[in-house]
Structure 1
Amino acid sequence: MLVRHTVPHPSLLPFIETYWCWESEAEPAGRLPRILPSAESEVLLHYRTPLRTMSLDGTVLKLPHAAVAGPQTRPCDLLPGLEGNQPGPVGIIGIRFRPGAFRLFCRLPADGLTDAILPLEEAWGTVSRELLHRLQETPDWQRRTRLLDDALLKLLESRQPARTPVDHALSMLRSVQPDGRPAVRAVCDALAVSERQLERWFLGRVGLPPKRYARLARFQLTLIRLLEPGGTPSGLLPLEYGYYDQAHFLRELRSLAGAPLASFREQPDFLSFFYNTPGASSRNLEWNQNGEGERCHEAVEVQWLDAARDGGHP
């Protein structure tokens, strides 16, 4: 599987973390990774066979060619798309929005996207069809990223978002480390608003209540750090992020991810790519200030786990 990963135009960086791409000429070897709960939204643009998702209860959903996935509070597994009865080749471009940012690029209510994957046309209208068509006709990755930049900058210009108290609350709930991470009440006091008002703001902008957002942010940050090579010993790290002990975090991992920690340590390339952890795909997460205004691009080969190792998908 070829993985590409590139930062967007600097004007988009406050809203978008990365552009990414998965590509294979044939059926991908092994199984695709599990997607974990997250407060981010993703735009998914398939230029080959659309992927499928499978929830933990076994429900399989075929993704639209152009889709938007809102914040997810439950994990799901990814499956290759089908051409007839056979898995087809993978070709997908993703736009990962920062928490609460996708709402600034459309008029859909954020809470309507939570735990949902919708046709992108519901959010962007004909822009989604036009963008997908142009991406399908453009095989070069650098030209594709410029197409994404152009489309998103136009959407952003039409909305002209301004920084709001929600942005401050998002930053406070994610960046402050315990001793400890601020309680929602402390954030409300800092912003001089009630908890009910803050929750209304979060549901309208992020799609999650502030306590749920803080829980997912803490979980994601802890998991990223645990999977970094040569980092803090795993028995101590959860304490830094406000868990009572390692057992507390492992229970949270089972609850939110539906799998033990060891299963994610077997997929370092995936986590390096998907969660921006240090590793194979992190070196291009900077804008290349070489006097020409061109960004860094990187493509890496990733070998997913062999499905036979753990029984594969049903």
Structure 2
Amino acid sequence: MNNPSLSKYCFSLFIGLLIFIFNSPLEAQVGVPVASIHELDGLVQMTLQQTGRKLVARSGSFLGEEDILETGKDGRVTILFRNGSKIRLFEETRLSIQKALEANIVNRAFEIEIQLHTGSLRANFLPGLQIASIQTPQAKIKVDGTVFRMEEKPGSGTTISMTEGKLFVNNGVSSMELLPGQRLSEVKYLDKLSTKLEYMNTQIFMNLTPEIVDLSKFITQKMTLTLQLADLKSSKVVRDAGKVYLESDFYNLRLPSMTTLDSSGFVRVPARIRPPRVSDKDFDGQIVVRAFLDSARHNLHGEGSLVVNTQGTQPKRKLLIDASQGTAHSVE
């Protein structure tokens, strides 16, 4: 005969176990994918922690904790994390993911620790979605919704160029917050950071035609994006050719992922845009386009960003007036 007390105890134990599982942080185990690689150019190799084998990387390949990714003399590659944050590795770079933990099932917050052994990268960490840090032999940075470039040269030190967000840097001697437009140049472990502070001199300037995009009609519209590399103070043209990587945070903005500045530092890029999906209730009308030079040779040039000026994306509202009460309120 079944014991009601024992059955009740077992049921309570089972429920308690479920609560523990679903409320505990999820830790990424060695070998479990924490990121994937995309947009490969040139030679890119990966060394898997589980096997120690060095393989030629392929688009769509997964990275786990302690895996190593390396680019050759002409190699570039994008690392895409599960929360949408991205790192672009430039030529002759060696990087490993030391830790990648998913801290909460519901909010999908991540903790990411990266080691930049040598070379350079450009990173775009989405705000509020992770606790991220990057370590080099000379310094460590903590990231909070940040866009930046970083370079580690053996013998020369670590250089960090800040574009957007917050960045906290520390080494063996001091620490500081780096602001947009600032750069720490060739920092070594025992340097006082304030003595290494500089300001970026050049940047990609961006312009969009038409200046205002009407998204109220469900049609595809053509646009033209122009890029010009120029001096930040004088606005004089900087004549430097190079490949430019383009990215946008809006899924219905179609533009090439890569273009090339000509010898005068200029390029004109065609683009197309459509209104957001009808089911997209979170779209607030703000669209950001970014452009950065896709090579370690151009690490000293600042990247460009443009907020697309949109209209016709706000929901239609009706104004309800209660004359007897003298009140009014709007409803969608």
TM-score, with structure 1 as normaliser: 0.29
Instruction: Looking at secondary structure, tell me which structure has more strand per residue.
Output: 2
TM-score, with structure 2 as normaliser: 0.28
Instruction: Looking at secondary structure, tell me which structure has more helix per residue.
Output: 1
Question: Which of these two proteins has the greater Rg computed from alpha carbons?
Answer: 2
